[in-house]
Amino acid sequence: MEFLSEFVNVVLNTYASFIIGFFIFVNVFYFSMYTISFGAIINYLRRHMFCDYRVIMQSELTPAVSILAPAYNESATCIESVNSLMKLNYPTAEVIFINDGSKDNTLDVVIKEFDLVKTERVYVQTILTKPVRGIYVSQKSQFRNLIVVDKQNGGKADALNVGINVSRYPLVCAIDADSILEDDALLKVVKPFLDDESVIAVGGIVRIANGCTIDRGRVTDVRLSRKLIPSFQVIEYYRAYLSGRMGWGAINGLLIISGAFGLFKRDIVLKCGGYKHDTVGEDMELVVRMHRYCRENNIPYRVEFVPDPVCWTEAPETLKILGRQRNRWHRGLLDTLLIHRKMLFNKRYGVLGLVSVPYFALIELFGPVIEAIGYFAVGIGFYLGMVNIEIFTLFFVVSVIYGVMFSVSAVMLEEISFHRYPRTRDLLKLLVLGVVENFGYRQITVWWRIKAFWDYWRGVKTWGAMTRVGFKK
């Protein structure tokens, strides 16, 4: 018995040392990333002073964009979505609406609303996809840039691949059919392509629209949701985008461009083979594959991130739906890292192989597991009376303070730079939530992410139904 107690003591002490080391490593890393992000945002704002988006809007030299909007059973919202996309400020753009074999009357609704007729347009299947049943164009001149593709159901990735095949322009913009784009969204994300010809992909900030007022497909009043779960996600998004992706973009190590809104060079996407349709993290997988393609072929390239708020999306409002989403994201991350495991600690892939992929593997993927074991170890330690209360309290307080500090810094960064929440009350609420999320919410998300490992092991490949409440109008 004494031996067992000694053994447990050694295990717990070793794990405690590991946890402290991991904690220091993670926080030093986060701090470095935050510093890089801060510098990158300041630089972005400085460059912004010399950019007049009207010039991009009016120029014939601005590269044309094909906007790809895949839809599955979206009959209730598709008209508004298409109308909002058609009104975006951009000199030359086509909207390709892909009906991914919807079981409802999405196609009929779109045909009727936009006066569509089936065309004889040639479908060149550069990327292999499920069969296309028809390509429709509008008879109304104001919708001459709208192309509707009807295809057999094959999932979002397959629908996007069809859109890429049909597109005619050098840049393709992948969006979720339920995303709301700012009027100048395309003008802002195209700017990095103009600044540097080696840019192959650009992601933009996705903001949470729950609580905001939406009028005719536009966010007209920005407010924080009164509900707790969407508000927690606002903080998470701030941390992920402003403190995370901005920094990754600055060192050309950005691995994720949200499926809700991203702009890509079509020729590189085609050379990479388009979206992979048998993964739930197709957006991340494509970006990693584009990085890999350029690195392996010695093509100079950059993947950039634009910190301007350009896209709004509806966040899950219940724990059940949020759990499904986080589970899917984590399965997607795991799948992508397994597919591209060759890049891990491989110096051939530069910053990607030595920093980005190891970070996502060690901290993002296994972080929840390490954290959960930590909670478990603390429980056992308390039960066996092996926990030094003073050291535990100190560690706990320091970790919470660090977490809060990063959340608050992300909120402050947003406030200094883009100032999208005009109400002081909303800002104060965000700061309070940055503290509160550490007690309960964080632990739930850890559980969802751990469960994703189990689901991946079981071969679960589903997205999980994402029931949406709809925007406040």
The reply on whether position 257 binds other proteins by CB under 8 A is no
The reply on whether position 34 binds other proteins by CB under 8 A is no
The reply on whether position 49 binds other proteins by CB under 8 A is yes
Q: x/- string (CB under 8 A) for other proteins, residues 56-75?
A: x-xxxxxx------------
- The DSSP string of 146-181 is EEEEEE----HHHHHHHHHHH--SSEEEEE-TT-EE
Least distance to other proteins, CB of residue 141, Å: 13
Give the binding range for other proteins (CB under 8 A) out of 22-30, 31-39, 118-126, 243-251: 118-126
Phi, psi of 64 (to 5 degrees): -75, 150
The reply on whether position 300 binds other proteins by CB under 8 A is no
The reply on whether position 46 binds other proteins by CB under 8 A is yes
The reply on whether position 120 binds other proteins by CB under 8 A is yes
Give the binding range for other proteins (CB under 8 A) out of 189-197, 206-214, 293-301, 376-384: 189-197
Distance, CA of 205 to CA of 308 (rounded, Å): 6
Checking 80-85 for CB contacts under 8 A at 24+ apart, the result is: 80/216, 80/217, 81/177, 81/178, 81/217, 82/110, 82/113, 82/114, 82/146, 83/216, 83/217, 84/180, 84/181, 84/216, 84/217, 84/218, 85/175, 85/181
How many residues bind to other proteins according to rule CB under 8 A? 23
Distance, CA of 163 to CA of 152 (rounded, Å): 13
The reply on whether position 191 binds other proteins by CB under 8 A is yes
Question: Which one, 249 or 281, has the nearer CB to other proteins?
Answer: 249
Query: Which listed residue (196, 215, 267, 278) binds other proteins by CB under 8 A?
Result: 196
146-151 vs 93-100, strand pairing mode: parallel
Query: Which listed residue (124, 141, 142, 457) binds other proteins by CB under 8 A?
Result: 124
Question: Which one, 137 or 284, has the nearer CB to other proteins?
Answer: 137
Distance, CA of 469 to CA of 163 (rounded, Å): 27
Question: Which one, 62 or 356, has the nearer CB to other proteins?
Answer: 62
Q: Tokens in use for 177?
A: 């059919």
Least distance to other proteins, CB of residue 115, Å: 16
The reply on whether position 186 binds other proteins by CB under 8 A is no
Give the binding range for other proteins (CB under 8 A) out of 74-82, 181-189, 193-201, 289-297: 193-201
**What value, to the nearest 5°, has the Cα angle with vertex 298 and ends 292 and 302?**
65
Q: From residue 63, how far is each of 59, 132, 202, 271 by CA, in Å?
A: 9, 27, 14, 19
Distance, CA of 151 to CA of 131 (rounded, Å): 6
Given a contact cutoff of 8 angstroms between Cβ atoms, the answer to whether 73 and 126 are in contact is no
The reply on whether position 197 binds other proteins by CB under 8 A is yes
Given a contact cutoff of 8 angstroms between Cβ atoms, the answer to whether 267 and 170 are in contact is yes
Least distance to other proteins, CB of residue 46, Å: 5
73 φψ region: left (φ > 0), alpha (ψ -120 to 50), beta (else): left
| Residue owning tokens 């593997």 | 361
Give the binding range for other proteins (CB under 8 A) out of 2-10, 121-129, 203-211, 293-301: 121-129
The reply on whether position 115 binds other proteins by CB under 8 A is no
Give the binding range for other proteins (CB under 8 A) out of 33-41, 50-58, 291-299, 452-460: 50-58
Query: Which listed residue (10, 11, 24, 55) binds other proteins by CB under 8 A?
Result: 55
| Residue owning tokens 């405690």 | 16
Distance, CA of 130 to CA of 427 (rounded, Å): 47
The reply on whether position 139 binds other proteins by CB under 8 A is no
Distance, CA of 446 to CA of 112 (rounded, Å): 46
Give the binding range for other proteins (CB under 8 A) out of 48-56, 71-79, 154-162, 172-180: 48-56
Least distance to other proteins, CB of residue 193, Å: 7
Closest CA to 42 of 246, 300, 293: 246
Q: Which residues bind other proteins (CB under 8 A)?
A: 46-47, 49-50, 55-56, 58-63, 119-122, 124, 191, 193-197
